[in-house]
Chains A and B, each alone.
Chain A
Amino acid sequence: MLNLMLLSVGVIALMAALLGLVIGFAARAFAVEQDPRVEEVAENLPGANCGGCGFAGCADLAKALVGGMASPAACPVCSAIARGKISEILGLAANAVVKQVALVRCGGGSGKAAFKTGYNGVSDCKSATLVASGAKGCNYGCLGLGTCARACPFGAIEISDGLAIVHPRLCVGCGKCVEACPKKLIKLVPESAEVHVLCNSPEKGPAKKKVCEVACIGCRKCAKAAEEGQIHINGFLAEVNYGNPPLAGLVGAAGCPTGCLARAKQREETA
């Protein structure tokens, strides 16, 4: 009986030793050379796998960064510190990247924008757009059904008063919401920009006024009050030139009759 036990233990031990040797040999013979920097870079990436860089995830971007296929600026989510660290690991000169945040170019929340019809279908902007282009009177406005909020991997979008609101401190500028919005009214703008036009409708002024209290009616007051080139008027819609953004004082100086020229800060405080 004892013999049998000893024999079993012996056989198992022998097999373990042999297989260990095989594995040890294989590990040396077939070792895959991996750049240790890939792991270091990946540690400094946010790890959210949001896809904002266009790669399949943070690990994929890390590989691309080490392979010289992407620049540290490719990740819109990284903080400046993390980006600096990555540049250090890769031995690149760190260059400053302007942080971008999403902006919902519509101010027509409940009570401000009219509805042309009732809607009790699927609570999703993309589905609602299929039915009479959404229930809102304005065909270009925010439907407030939260497709962008669900698409945001960082929880930076909230639906408040029938309108999508971006929290700039949570927003990392990955651009997922820009793709998700069927009305194409979300845009990435520099975080430092202080004044925005919260309207997206190219309709004529009177038509817009009929359906929304806070639409841009193309009165040009803001363009006159601003410095040359800071605000373009495109048909009946004022557009901020984010290459040369106006300062916060413009909101008071312009006296926008509908209040669609607004400071992003105000939005954040009210939200």
Chain B
Amino acid sequence: MALEHEHFFFRGGIHPHGHKELTSSSPIQTAPLLDKYYVILQQHIGAPPNLVVKDKDLVKKGQMLAEPGGFVSAPVHAPTSGEVKLLDWHSSSGVKLPAVQIDADGADEWAPDIHPCPDWENREPAKLREKIARAGVVGMGGAAFPTAVKLSPPPNKKIDVLILNGAECEPYLTADHRLMLESPEKILQGAAILAKVLGVKTVLLGIEQNKPDAIAKLSGLAKSGGVTVVPLRVMYPQGAEKQLIFALTGRKVPAGGLPMDVGCVVQNVGTAAAVADAVVEGKPLIERVTTITGSPVVRPGNWRLRIGTTLAEALTLVGGIKSQPAKLLLGGPMMGHAQTSLDTPVAKNSSGILLLSHDEVAQYGSQACIRCGRCVDVCPMSLMPGPLSVMIESERFELADYAHATDCVECGCCAYVCPSLRPLVQHLRRGKAEIIAKRKKGK
């Protein structure tokens, strides 16, 4: 069964060193209860949620702190029981975001409105979708798009394939890998719920071939569940939505389109597990598995952290650092976001906390494009990053728009291979920001 899918190789891509051996064999550990948690309200793509608690309120674990502020939005919940303090938190992008500080009371008591639903198979799909939305489940692979919105395709789009993303192509990260090894039943249960909500029969689970243990484990279990496990070629960015759809189904998402345009919905395996928690146990999304890793870390590992744990606390769990790091990232080295402060809290999409040493961070100056075309070879979106960067550098945004700059997924393959060390992704991000701002202005 699996063989028939192996014909589809997406174009481009690179082979960065995985560094997954640091944490791939360390079981998921659960972090102890902390004194303070800092929950940012806007942890997802979409409208900011509206606060429903006041300063000095006492909340219980799993109680809603903010309700969705629109259709594309998600609520956030208290990671433990305690007292609320409202504050503004400076994000790494320099924007002040409203956040809630929870001073834990130590009881860690669940809120009374947690309703488990073990008989979910007999419920209406709309009811299940509502439960997923109320639990604040968002895409946990990195984009943090509200899951319930992905499960509500417009009536004219027929969805026939649900894809579970277990590729985890980003170097260093092993959170999904460990989750697949340790909670495969939960992932498959989540997949079954998602399939019921969407009303699809075909469920494909793509796993990169560098995780043979996870492939073996899930293949064995999945047979009865109607899920097909597909081993994928090891290639970055195999786990990018559009590349994964092509690898598994041979369908190409049109430029500027969405997966639902080709009848697919893609969900991360971590999201599937969170869906199972949300529906079967009624638990909102208040914790996630995060890989804390990098050469400066004393004991790299995979940890189940509550949302709102600061990076400083997370690093204490792994025994601190043994050498001075040069860079701190939330996420992996290819697509993660550089952080400037250890006060940053873990959010729903923080798949990894990565520290890089001075030797591992390049500090070279960029030079002129020599038109070697290597970026064009590796771009999985079939763009021309080099020429695009030159257009954007000279502020010719209309030209860049014409050359489909907005299709860039910021995977970083181009910058990885560039012999002139050009910061291509940064140029493209600037270009995309300017083009999108211009489009909004035009409307």
Query: Which of these, B95, B366, B393, B426, contacts A131 with CB under 8 Å?
Result: B426
Does residue B438 face the partner (Cβ distance < 8 Å to A)? Answer: no
Query: Which of these, A117, A122, A127, A130, contacts B340 with CB under 8 Å?
Result: A117
Q: How far is the CB of B141 from chain A (nearest CB, A)?
A: 22
Contact A120 B365 (CB under 8 A): yes
**Interface 9-mer from B260-268, B277-285, B398-406, B427-435:** B427-435
**Interface 9-mer from A4-12, A132-140, A261-269:** A132-140
Rounded to whole angstroms, the CA-CA distance of A133 and B338 in the bound complex is 11
- B 412-443 to A, binary, CB cutoff 8 A, 1 in contact else 0: 00000000000100110110011000000000
Known: A116-B340, A116-B341, A126-B430. A121 touches B94 (CB 8 A): no
Contact B429 A130 (CB under 8 A): yes
Contact B94 A133 (CB under 8 A): yes
| B95, closest chain A residue (CB) | A133
| B392, closest chain A residue (CB) | A127
Does residue B92 face the partner (Cβ distance < 8 Å to A)? Answer: yes
| B328, closest chain A residue (CB) | A117
Rounded to whole angstroms, the CA-CA distance of A116 and B341 in the bound complex is 8
Interface of A is mostly: loop
Q: How far is the CB of A175 from chain B (nearest CB, A)?
A: 18
Chain A hits for B338, CB < 8 A = 117, 131-132
Q: How far is the CB of B79 from chain A (nearest CB, A)?
A: 25
Q: How far is the CB of B132 from chain A (nearest CB, A)?
A: 32
| B364, closest chain A residue (CB) | A120
Does residue B123 face the partner (Cβ distance < 8 Å to A)? Answer: no
| A207, closest chain B residue (CB) | B90
Which residue of A118, A122, A124, A130 has the most chain B CB atoms within 10 A of its CB atom? A122
Chain A hits for B94, CB < 8 A = 129, 132-134, 139
Query: Which of these, A117, A130, A133, A134, contacts B430 with CB under 8 Å?
Result: A130
Rounded to whole angstroms, the CA-CA distance of A124 and B339 in the bound complex is 20
Rounded to whole angstroms, the CA-CA distance of A133 and B430 in the bound complex is 13
Rounded to whole angstroms, the CA-CA distance of A100 and B283 in the bound complex is 61
Q: How far is the CB of B347 from chain A (nearest CB, A)?
A: 16
Contact B365 A130 (CB under 8 A): no
| A137, closest chain B residue (CB) | B340
Which residue of B94, B338, B341, B434 has the most chain A CB atoms within 10 A of its CB atom? B94
Chain B hits for A139, CB < 8 A = 90, 94
Contact A130 B433 (CB under 8 A): yes
Q: How far is the CB of B42 from chain A (nearest CB, A)?
A: 16
Contact B93 A121 (CB under 8 A): no
Q: How far is the CB of B206 from chain A (nearest CB, A)?
A: 31
Contact A130 B363 (CB under 8 A): no
Chain A hits for B326, CB < 8 A = 118
Which residue of B326, B393, B423 has the most chain A CB atoms within 10 A of its CB atom? B423
Q: How far is the CB of B363 from chain A (nearest CB, A)?
A: 6
Rounded to whole angstroms, the CA-CA distance of A132 and B327 in the bound complex is 13
Which residue of B90, B340, B365, B434 has the most chain A CB atoms within 10 A of its CB atom? B340
Rounded to whole angstroms, the CA-CA distance of A106 and B233 in the bound complex is 53
Contact A122 B427 (CB under 8 A): yes
Rounded to whole angstroms, the CA-CA distance of A120 and B367 in the bound complex is 12
Interface residues in B37-84 by Cβ distance below 8 A to A read none
Contact B92 A122 (CB under 8 A): no
Q: How far is the CB of B261 from chain A (nearest CB, A)?
A: 29
Contact B433 A122 (CB under 8 A): no
Rounded to whole angstroms, the CA-CA distance of A130 and B425 in the bound complex is 11
Q: How far is the CB of B131 from chain A (nearest CB, A)?
A: 37
Chain B hits for A122, CB < 8 A = 366, 393, 423, 426-427, 430
Q: How far is the CB of B231 from chain A (nearest CB, A)?
A: 36
Contact A127 B90 (CB under 8 A): no
Contact A133 B427 (CB under 8 A): no
Chain B hits for A130, CB < 8 A = 93, 426, 429-430, 433
27 A-B contacts (beta carbon < 8 Å): A116-B340, A117-B338, A118-B326, A118-B363, A120-B363, A120-B364, A120-B365, A122-B366, A122-B427, A122-B430, A126-B430, A127-B427, A127-B429, A127-B430, A129-B94, A130-B93, A130-B429, A130-B433, A131-B338, A131-B426, A132-B92, A132-B93, A132-B94, A132-B338, A132-B339, A133-B92, A133-B95
4 A-B pairs with least C-beta separation: A133-B94, A139-B94, A127-B430, A117-B340
